[in-house]
Homo-oligomer: A and B are copies of this chain.
Amino acid sequence: MKTVIKNALALTMNGREVLKDAYILIDGSTIRYIGQEAPEQDGNTRVLDARGGIVMPAFVNMHTHLAMTYFRSYASDLRLDKWLEKIFAVEDRLDEEAMYYGALIACAEAMEHGACCVNDMYLDSFGTVRACADSGIRAYVSRCVVDSDGAAGLERRLRENEELFRNFDAFDGRIYVLPSAHAEYTCSREALSRVYGEAKRLGRPVHIHISETNREVSECLARHGMTPLELLQSMGLLEDTTTIAAHCVAVGSRDIDIMQNFRVYPVHNPCSNLKLGSGIAPVKTMLEAGVNVCIGTDGNGSNNNIDMFRETFVASVLQKGFNRRADCTDAFSVFKMATANGAEALGYNGGVLKSGAAADIMILDKTAFLEPVHDPFGMVVYSGEAKRLKTLIVNGRVTVENGECVTVNKQEAYSGFIRCAKRLFEGID
């Protein structure tokens, strides 16, 4: 089926190009034309009228834990160690059904807040991957590896991710499985090597937490005499493999050198880093060094919304305020971090409106609140919000209409979610 979007104020991400009164032709899951001349339409072509609203690549949420929806507003305002203690107790009870409904609610939320794609890392993820498949979102999913409980645990988790890969990888052209190591502090050198080995074999990126807190880095220095990124580099793991490095709050200039010299994409999660008291990542410095920073929301336990509009806003203004420089992390740069950089790190042809690219598109409502449009990138980054999202298209399919996710049966999802939540928190304060 073909779809034409008309009357678009298109931010193509072909540089800072802005096309007025643009048409976009989608055929199946792919963009086939973008420009100011009307493409040919036949009787089967569906027409979406953007009515002058902003049309842009949808957000790529580069780090999240979808099934953590159960932890929204749980253990608020606690320090990280106490927060983790409470979270771990409930996480132990997460089974496949609970993972499914937690992730399903989060997928609908992610899409209603502008994301076409999520990069998830969590526990045994059959439930998550099924939820992503059912919801219509584009997803990169991983069962992350830890081996702090010994070699048997390592083998089991690697096997779980392999099984995930065998069953779901490339499903519908939008679900992929990535190798993932949780973090240096939960993985032995052996575990890190095995995960990177798998990534090399499959030609996929590795998803890993890196330098989220000062404490993590101090402990790594004590253990190895190196920071987490230095350790990965010293082991030769960063060669030929892309690393998606979530957080990178406590990184220094040598870490940033490593990002520049290898295919390391740091993922900035400003709301979670602030909320958990981890600190403020040196994003301005990373951008100035030419590093391709991405943006993620982290999970609902530490944010507490899967909202890329809010995340992108905070990513921009936080650097301006912290560095006392209103002209840093400008709207266009942050917009690119939240779209094209993520697609590049994941290795798919998206985050851009051009012929041949994945049809992952959002249409914002042109309301009184969005006029006059002096700077459309600023409009999205500083004034964008879910309330202003009209339509989301993922892989050529409309998943959000008039701001509501239409590819998830929310009533049913909600019932399942509540049922699981009762079980998870039973007997816990």
Contacts and interface: CB of A to CB of B under 8 A. Distances in A.
A421 interface: yes
Given A78-B327, A418-B371, A383 B73 contact: yes
A375 interface: yes
A10 to B, nearest CB: 17
B371 A305 contact: no
Nearest to A389: B387
A78 B371 contact: no
A375 B274 contact: no
A234 to B, nearest CB: 29
Interface string A272-289: 011111111000000000
A318 B72 CA distance: 19
Complex copy number for this chain: 2
B322 A425 contact: no
Contact of A378 (B73, B310, B374, B376): B73
B386 A72 contact: no
A274 B317 contact: yes
Interface string A16-58: 0000000000000000000000000000000000000000000
B417 A368 contact: yes
Contacts of A274: 317-318, 320-322
A383 B304 contact: yes
Nearest to A300: B383
A303 interface: yes
A109 B383 CA distance: 12
Contacts of A379: 72-73, 304
B320 A276 contact: yes
A17 to B, nearest CB: 17
Nearest to A249: B321
Interface in A377-429: 377-379, 382-383, 385-387, 403, 410, 413-414, 417-418, 421, 425
B378 A421 contact: no
Contacts of A278: 321, 324
Nearest to A378: B76
Nearest to A276: B326
A323 to B, nearest CB: 7
A427 to B, nearest CB: 14
Given A304-B382, A310-B313, A387-B403, A73 B373 contact: yes
Contact of A368 (B271, B326, B413): B413
Interface in A333-360: none
A276 B322 CA distance: 11
A226 interface: no
Nearest to A325: B277
A156 interface: no
A74 interface: yes
A307 interface: yes
Contacts of A310: 310, 313, 385
Contact of A385 (B316, B386, B418): B386
Contacts of A73: 372-376, 378-379, 382-383
A399 to B, nearest CB: 16
Contact of A320 (B277, B403, B421): B277
A83 interface: yes
Interface in A218-270: 270
Contacts of A105: 368-369
A413 B369 CA distance: 11
Which A-B residue pairs are the 6 nearest by beta carbons? A274-B321, A277-B326, A76-B378, A274-B317, A77-B330, A368-B414
